[in-house]
Amino acid sequence: MQKEQTPEQNVSKPASRRGFIGASGAVTAAAALPVELSAQVAGSDQVKVGLIGMGGRGCGAIVQNLAGNDRARLVAVADAFADKIDGSGPRGSGLPAVTKQLEKLGKANQVDLPASRQYAGFDAYKQVVDESDLVCIATPPGFRPLHFEYAVNQGKHVFMEKPVCVDAFGFNKIVESAQKADDKGLKVVVGLQRHYEDVYRQAFAKVHEEGLLGDLLGGQCYWNGSRPWLIDRQEGWNEMEYQMRNWYYFTWLCGDHNVEQHVHNIDILNWFLSGDNERGCNPISAQGLGGRCTDLPLSVGEIFDHHYVEYRYGQDQNNAIVNSQSRQATGAWRHVGEEIIGTEASLTMKGAQSVIKDASGKVIWQYRKPRSGNVSPYQVEHNELHDAIANDKPLNNAYYGAKSSFSAVIGRLATYTGQIVEWDKAVESNFNLMPEELSFDAKPKVLPNADGNYTLPIPGQTKLPWA
């Protein structure tokens, strides 16, 4: 069974402040690499790969990307923090983790990464893009529209993690860049890996090729789990550094957990209701409720710990209704999965298994992923990206990635404000959560009060961004 890759449990340990350096500088993380990893690699048919974002998911993604093509070479990396590159930061990871995994796979020769191509700072992504043919983007979600836009403008193929936006400005930028990518023949994969998982592909075929469910009426989706990692505020950190280090707890960086995590499940409903694996669909409105009820102190970020959203779809999706549930509460009921309801039957998908039952509860189809010999969907998405590049096959996940990400965003707006949020109005507003200046000397838009606490949204009082 493929284990869902979720944020780690609470991590809180002191770290020396490695801070950041200018975008044109290099960190000395090469000292963590064996000598042979810094050797020049010959050959004109290489795919030069760059990585932007050196956290746990970024390091996992780059290993999977290199494993997907023996001709791929990691030639440049970047992160806002130098200590996330060399692995000395509060949560470790970095190049030492990448090196260890590649050595286990016998792929250590696929790294050509001298210190001069290891960049730190807010603008460091530009150097990585410029050095690469294919860019893996695994920065905090708020940055992805900016990084994706630059990569496409420079004519580079892209893998980017989900979600791909946290606001309307980001959604519109992703869609615009996706269209440019098509015009340039670029290939784009988004890390919504369920699209690349056999258990979901098999179920999709049963629903849309064989019509086992009849007309689709709606469904349920869940991501109920535990609280993610947290890094204590360190002496010497200013507000921008604290928020960047704890990006999961700030909406402008992660979108809230119903966007950062639950986008996976919302995406499945958009995919199955649309019947379109290229474009997907989106709800026309969202309304719901949420808040923070666990013991997480107000000194830790601004996000909710639970959301319950009702999504309504249009006539093209049979006016379907979807209920979306996400929660982060250690010790509470855990469940991650999706259900699709039709006029003839219902489909339940969870982990390694999909089951279709008729109205009487009789199982009419089921599929369980084999215990062995099955390639992880996290690997398949990179394999298919490299195949599309090598053989010039059409591949652009950015459209459904944007729709599913922004579906989660309007769900967050609904729970924060207590209002019905209409898709079209939210898109047209082009609201933007990003700070006006991206530097460690700048201040984020959200700041703690004099007591060091952040103000949570209050449904009924908090306004929609365009109100």
Structure token digits, residue 122: 């807010």
What are the beta bridge partners of residue 218?
Answer: 321, 341
Cα 339 to chain centroid, rounded = 22
State the architecture of 29-194+393-397 in CATH terms.
3-Layer(aba) Sandwich (3.40)
Specify the pLDDT at position 277: 82
State the Cα angle at 396 between 394 and 399, rounded to 5°.
140
Specify the pLDDT at position 6: 41
Query: If we measure between CA atoms, which residue out of 9, 456, 448, 8 comes closest to residue 233?
Result: 448
State the architecture of 198-375+401-429 in CATH terms.
2-Layer Sandwich (3.30)
Query: If we measure between CA atoms, which residue out of 216, 194, 222 comes closest to residue 324?
Result: 222
DSSP strands (E only) in 236-304: 285-291
Instruction: Give the residue carrying structure tokens 């992504």.
Output: 125
Domain ranges of the chain: 29-194+393-397, 198-375+401-429
Domains 29-194+393-397 and 198-375+401-429 alike in fold: no
H helix runs in 275-336, sequence order: none
Distance CA 141, CA 357 (A): 37
pLDDT in tens, the chain (467 residues): 444 444 333 333 333 333 433 333 444 333 333 333 332 333 448 999 999 999 999 999 999 999 999 999 999 999 999 999 998 888 777 999 999 999 999 999 999 999 999 999 999 999 999 999 999 999 999 999 999 999 999 999 999 999 999 999 999 999 999 999 999 999 999 999 999 999 999 999 999 999 999 999 999 999 999 988 899 999 999 999 999 999 999 999 999 999 999 999 999 999 999 998 889 999 999 999 999 999 999 999 999 999 999 999 999 999 999 999 999 999 999 999 999 999 999 999 998 899 999 999 999 999 998 888 889 999 999 999 999 999 999 999 999 999 999 999 999 999 999 999 999 999 999 999 999 999 999 999 999 999 999 999 999 999 999 99
Distance CA 407, CA 263 (A): 8
The pLDDT tens digits of the residues spanning 214-262 come to: 999 999 999 999 988 899 999 999 999 999 999 999 999 999 999 999 9
Specify the pLDDT at position 136: 98
Cα 453 to chain centroid, rounded = 27
